[in-house]
Amino acid sequence: MKRYIAADFGAGSGRVIVGTWLAASNEIQLEEIHRFENNQKMIDGHLRWDFNALFNELKTGLKKAFAKYGDEIESIGIDTWGVDYGLLDKDGKLISTPVCYRDDRTKGMLDLAFQKLPKEEFFQHAANQFMEINTAFQLLSSVTACKADTNIAYDDVIRAKKILFMPDLFNYFLTGKCYNEFTISSTSQLLNSLTHQWDDVIFDRLGLPKRLMQEIIYPGAVIGRLTDELAEEVGGNANVVAVGSHDTASAVASISDASDDWAFISSGTWSLMGTPTKEPIISQEAFDAAFTNEGMTDGRIRFLKNITGLWLIQQLVKEWEQEGYKCDYSELVKEAEQSTLSSYFDVDDACFMNPEKMSEAIISYLKERNEDIPVTKGDFMRCICISLAKKYAEVKAQMERCTNKKINKIYIVGGGSRNQLLNLLTAELTGCEVVKGEVEATAMGNILVQLEVSN
């Protein structure tokens, strides 16, 4: 029996899943072995990921998997959210805990970058949606701060010898091998969208240290086996395989559709909405509509837009639970179905990026525009579902204009696919057939790449 481990790190939680290949029925059976929270912490004045805790959770998952299945495990694949990274020093040690993309250190970096490399010219090179959270602007923030004040909070980039995006960093801790995987690299705004190589113009004009970048590898590459020490600790060994290490790349890999008229929404903390294309689209229309071109596991392009997603609901639930309420997502959806509220808001407005209280941010936004205010939890949920569906309809229309193709079907994958109200509203407002895909689409796509390698 062939079994594969998918370690999927989301911005809010993570899971270690074992996929078993059932040859007789030609299907993959998923089994969740370990689930854990992923919380950010303020350390040294910055919002950071607790990498050591996350790696310990990964090891716990591997221990459980090897204890149950032993030598039946063929390989391991890691995927995470995009843009964030860790820096290694000359001895291969992690210099500091990786900073979270929601940290405020990148404020003002877009304007600074465009002084050095005009926005439209920049897009012709990297062809990514311009967001302050992107790797290019995180690095620019560190380089700029170093020049102004070389203190401990910022001098990491000076001491660093290598940069590893989050999945690359986990792979390194597993195997001791340093690479930058293609799909995660394509989220950085440092990769040339046509050549798939690090772009000299971007590094030179922004004054960023290209010396940090590693060799780019593609999904399906075997990185190596677990180190001897780690194999002994977790009770087994297997190859670590480069998968679609950006979680959206793995999620899209779970969709099997040979037609050309479909789009996807990977619905998690972010809603990533796009469609596959053979080549990057770097037209003026794509630039004006703020689309991004990122890598797929088969080498094609995910032409997509990043949309604020279930983050809105996650923050509300966290807020309500802190107030003593126990929240159940399915019950919240039922309450939303009974609500008659029709107000909506722009989910991508900056005020929703990281507010102290999400409920107050939503109420303030709607009050300023004389819209009806949500009162019940069901009202809030309905308001968010309407707002997301309206944004999906807007992006779908933009996508059709940029790609010159009609989109008739939308696959919704990930945790958000379970929200039937959101699915119904999306179908209604986009005019598309909405197909509910895999809830664990990321793990499924991750394992599909591993399966191809072993076969």
For the annotated catalytic residues, the residue numbers are 247
Residue 418 burial by Cβ neighbours in a 10 Å radius (0-12, 13-18, 19+): middle
**Residue 370, token pair as written in the block:** 């004389």
The size of the chain, in residues, is 455
Buried b (16+ CB within 10 A) or exposed e, 372-406: eebeebbbbbbbbbbbbbbbbbbbbebbeebbeee
**Residue 105, token pair as written in the block:** 């250190």
CA atoms within 13 A on the CB side of 442: 28
Of 171, 170, 164, nearest to 185 by C-alpha is 164
Beta-carbon contacts of residue 183 (< 8 Å; ≥ 6 apart):
219, 244, 245, 246, 249, 294, 295, 296, 297
In whole angstroms, what separates CA 199 from the centre of its chain? 22
Angle between helices 135-148 and 109-116 (to 10 degrees): 90
Q: Torsion over CA of 325, 328, 332 and 333, rounded to 10 degrees?
A: 170
